[in-house]
A and B are shown apart, each in its own frame.
Chain A
């Protein structure tokens, strides 16, 4: 419908607007719909072609004195502007006209116009300044709603140069008698500070904000905290001293859930002076552990855990007390809150494995729950299992193993596998029964669990070996095949038909798509050959022949060759290599570190960390670091001659740049000067080139820059020597050495590069030269 509207010529719009009765104006879209239906002959333009036409049309309408005189019609046109803006059309063309429309007593119209201004101010900063006048005037309107609105909009203009205009209205706003305005003004301070960039902190303003922490209005108080935090973030944020902390504690009950959660978060940085004070605070905040808002419960729990970090028994007690609220959140109607709560339950279980054991039924999955909740619940279940509930939990999990969702079924099987580390017999029995279902997605995961299990719990090997025959018919994926082949290789002497199963794999090796499976097959067959030589010798020969002569994957081929050569050395040697003692699983290297202390995660509690999971969070935050320095790289503006050459965090990234080619230089190459000299003299120059170099020269900068890309400086002349010389060395991952001589002749304004190579490889040489060029080019640029 909105498209149709856009296509109407101006005259038509005017007619419609004239036709409309004043109080019908909200029906505007409807009347349009009706009219366009009744005038099928209206000329239509292509939709989306002309936001220009629309802008023109609206501009005309906004300027029309007749429309301006009629408030309703005027507001309608403004609403249309906003509607188009919402739809993503560029409406910045009517900025002037909209600014004029802000001078009105109609507060809704004002809101719309201000919204418009905030959206387009960054595009039209010069015009936006014109609006400042109206905004400033509105900041002293008798109606506090208008004052608040104007101040909020003004602070949200986000364009350069606006700061000087907003300072005074903000200061006035801080002292306004209406708390509505003070709330806005307090946050306005933070907005103003952000506009300034990292400018100096206005001490007077900060003091004013600190004093407003005593404001009557709870939201003003909380906004003060937020604002100060933002303004002082360079200095580590707002300082919570004893009077402030106690003041906030006393105000807690007056705050809404957002405010309470916020204050609880700020109190984290308060250090009680004495144990007595600490426990007073805990007592005071006790009721918040049972708050109706999950955000407040989580916030209070975190505060308790952090404050009581020296009192493990208090921490445990707190976790006992939030059990109820947390469990309630785990069955919350909001699946997202439920998900977050489950993530935190898992976090707690890491430290207190038995904590939720008696409530295990709460973590049984319901049919209609979303996937992510079911997966979390399964994880929780396998962590809280104990002697009392293991039977029920396993029974429940076993039901999930045949779920229609393959992912969920597999997660349940893995869960049983991890429970099997403690309750081996029962779990192996369940898993064996699952094999009987002959479902591909089930069999593959069961076999994978078996593989891990026989290694961690050798006592179940016999049972596993009995279960395996027949599995090969129901495994198609790489992971499952690998697991099965591994088991057949390692424990083949106990599985009667192991050689025949492997033989099938050998027969079909040509059509096998996964190299990893072939590798596994080589190793497994060789192992089995050691225990059952008669049955395996022939096919081992065939497999080795295939891998060496026909296989295209280099890794597989190399593995084949390696085994072949190993066999040539003699069977004893093969045994020594393949069957040497394995590491002892009881050493616990693979097991999770048993109980992690609460303090190891308390600071992450109630953040995104447990929700993502620690490992995923680590990758995310790492990629943030890379992202941040990413865009700056092409300019290499960070190569400042004075400070450190490249900021610590960028280093990794810089190394990667020259890696784009096939070349990979080895870091920390150690080459003695003697060796360098000998090699240098024994080789011929493989490449020589001259680069332009104007003006001064800083050898140190160059050396550091080269270091970053893994080119070592062996020796160089003193700074200022003329001509200046340097000898560099680098080695790539294949072992090819690059020896380089730099010769700078100031009189010719050029740098001569000579490179020698110990193996003749033109491709890598080219890449090496380009790396060198890039580095020298960059230094040259920075200097000039």
Chain B
């Protein structure tokens, strides 16, 4: 890939800040971006890739900003988008939120970062942890002229600096599984998949070697333990630090971890599981008078487990008024700006069934435009539980200084893109 320039535009398309990496595309070409985008949008043919003359614009939108890369080449699109997202990620780690204000307030750091992220249109150092070692927000505090080069910029292990020290050596392992679900209006499950991630928070001194053991079915079959309960992982992806060749050979997950937070691996399971929270709904619309909604939610997981922070959002017509609710548990709230009722249940034990009824008035004069049929969405979190049954069997930590380190494991199942269509 190679980008000629990168622009950050405000919502009206005015450049807030830009960096001309290659100098082969006049910077003024960006003026064509917004008109083009608007035109395409009107035609209903908007795509993340636009072209004006010989210039290609690859763009993404983040909050109220557009990030645009220009290029003349027949570039590798997914890499350019990945780079733009990486840029957003780096900025977010610096400014918490990336928006117009944070760009304006931090333009010096933005320039510094743009300078390090890319050179001559090619991505250079994009790891925000490494960048944070030498581009600091305190940089405005005067340095005494001998800013050091962080060792990682030149290290063989590019994701970890040498000489890290902790009093207490600990590793926190979070196993998080998100459930994506799509259910048809007639109640048949169209799509159900589990996306799992294992996130690590590492507080370890030196250059430790870590090995993670999971109840991976392939591994169990390799080692002849196929009777034990195991999980068939699909589509496994690892952080750069994991030695892929070893995993391919004997399914060992071994690595030198980066310091602090990072995502070690992700996997996917498309085995059908019962939807954890099942919703039945009846939305009856009596034109010109009222809407009546009945929603039944059922926890279809183990009785011992409890789903926390359950939020069920049910769509209502945008011209509805005077809401009235009745719930068997939890509370319901009308959010007019999103045209939904949100029914929140703080704790929802497995096997239980709850009910909510809502009543809305409708104006006698119906409005002109037709409305879509948004789905019912569900948010939840079930701690100490994984749908797939994945387990961390061990985490071995070996460092040449020989210290003892403690691994902590936590399991969570949560809702991903969890939608039930309404008729």
Contact = CB atoms under 8 A, between A and B. Distances in A.
A253 B140 contact: no
25 contacts: A26-B140, A29-B105, A83-B107, A106-B143, A107-B147, A108-B139, A111-B111, A144-B149, A158-B23, A187-B122, A222-B122, A258-B122, A258-B123, A262-B122, A292-B239, A294-B78, A327-B235, A336-B84, A340-B78, A367-B372, A367-B419, A606-B78, A607-B75, A607-B76, A627-B53
Given A145-B149, A253-B245, A608-B56, 19 more contacts: A29-B105, A71-B142, A79-B108, A86-B107, A107-B143, A108-B139, A143-B147, A152-B115, A194-B23, A219-B125, A254-B158, A261-B1, A262-B1, A324-B268, A361-B190, A367-B373, A367-B421, A407-B44, A612-B51
A108 B47 CA distance: 39
A23 B140 CA distance: 9
Contacts of A219: 124-125
B180 interface: yes
A183 B74 CA distance: 25
Interface in B97-152: 105, 107-108, 111-112, 115, 119-120, 122-127, 134, 139-149
Contact of B154 (A217, A290, A335, A608): A217
Nearest to A335: B48
Nearest to B48: A336
A334 B60 contact: yes
B244 A295 contact: no
A178 B237 contact: no
A187 B120 contact: yes
Nearest to A226: B122
B180 A331 contact: yes
Contacts, number: 218
A336 B120 contact: no
B82 interface: yes
A299 B76 contact: yes
B108 A361 contact: no
Contacts of B370: 404
Contact of B81 (A226, A290, A292, A334): A334
A367 B81 contact: no
A628 B55 CA distance: 12
A337 B142 contact: no
Contacts of A217: 154
A196 to B, nearest CB: 14
Contacts of A290: 235-237
B46 A291 contact: no
Contact of A287 (B47, B248, B371): B248
Contact of B49 (A152, A179, A399, A608): A608
Contacts of A746: none
A627 B53 CA distance: 7
Interface string A69-85: 00110000001001100
Given A144-B149, A258-B122, A366-B419, A324 B190 contact: no
B356 interface: no
Contacts of A145: 134, 147, 149
Nearest to A264: B76
B268 to A, nearest CB: 6
Given A152-B115, A361-B190, A404-B371, A179 B147 contact: no
A327 B60 CA distance: 21
A334 B248 CA distance: 28
A90 B8 CA distance: 19
A152 B85 CA distance: 25
B295 interface: no
A39 B329 CA distance: 58
B375 interface: yes
Contacts of A83: 107
A192 to B, nearest CB: 11
The 5 A-B residue pairs with the shortest CB-CB distance, nearest first, are: A105-B145, A295-B79, A292-B237, A258-B123, A407-B44
Q: How large is the interface on B (under 10, 10 to 19, 20 to 34, 35 or more residues)?
A: 35 or more
Contacts of A180: 149, 153-154
Contact of B145 (A106, A253, A256): A106
A317 interface: no
B349 to A, nearest CB: 29
Contact of B237 (A23, A286, A291): A291
Interface string A311-342: 00000000000001101110100111101110
B383 interface: no
Contacts of A298: 76, 78-79
B36 interface: no
A463 interface: no
A328 B54 contact: no
A646 to B, nearest CB: 21
B386 interface: no
A612 B375 contact: no
Given A218-B158, A295-B79, A336-B60, A328 B142 contact: no
Contacts of B78: 294-295, 298, 329, 337, 340-341, 606
A286 B182 CA distance: 33
A528 B259 CA distance: 80
A107 B180 CA distance: 48
Given A145-B134, A216-B156, A328-B235, A294 B182 contact: no
B240 interface: yes
B77 interface: yes
Interface in B150-183: 153-154, 156, 158, 180, 182
A399 to B, nearest CB: 8
A253 to B, nearest CB: 7
B33 interface: no
B281 interface: no
Contacts of B235: 290, 324-325, 327-328
Contacts of A158: 23
A372 B108 contact: no
A370 B41 CA distance: 11
Contacts of B34: none
Contacts of A144: 149
B76 to A, nearest CB: 5
Nearest to B1: A261
B26 to A, nearest CB: 11
B344 interface: no
A607 B58 CA distance: 13
Interface string A98-115: 000000011110011001
Interface string B24-57: 0000000000000000000011111101011010
A291 to B, nearest CB: 7
A549 interface: no
Given A26-B140, A337-B78, A362-B191, A258 B119 contact: no
Interface in A208-252: 216-219, 222-223, 226
Contacts of A79: 108
Given A23-B141, A606-B76, A607-B76, A371 B44 contact: yes
Contacts of B139: 108
Nearest to A299: B76
Contact of B120 (A26, A143, A190): A190
B78 to A, nearest CB: 5
Contacts of A780: none
B142 A106 contact: yes
Contacts of A335: 48
Contacts of A257: 82, 240
B54 A627 contact: yes
B37 to A, nearest CB: 12
A191 interface: yes
B17 interface: yes
Interface centre among B2, B154, B158, B234 (most CB of A within 10 A): B154
B238 interface: yes
B167 to A, nearest CB: 31
Contacts of A336: 48, 58, 60, 77, 81, 84
A292 B149 contact: no
A194 B120 CA distance: 11
B266 interface: yes
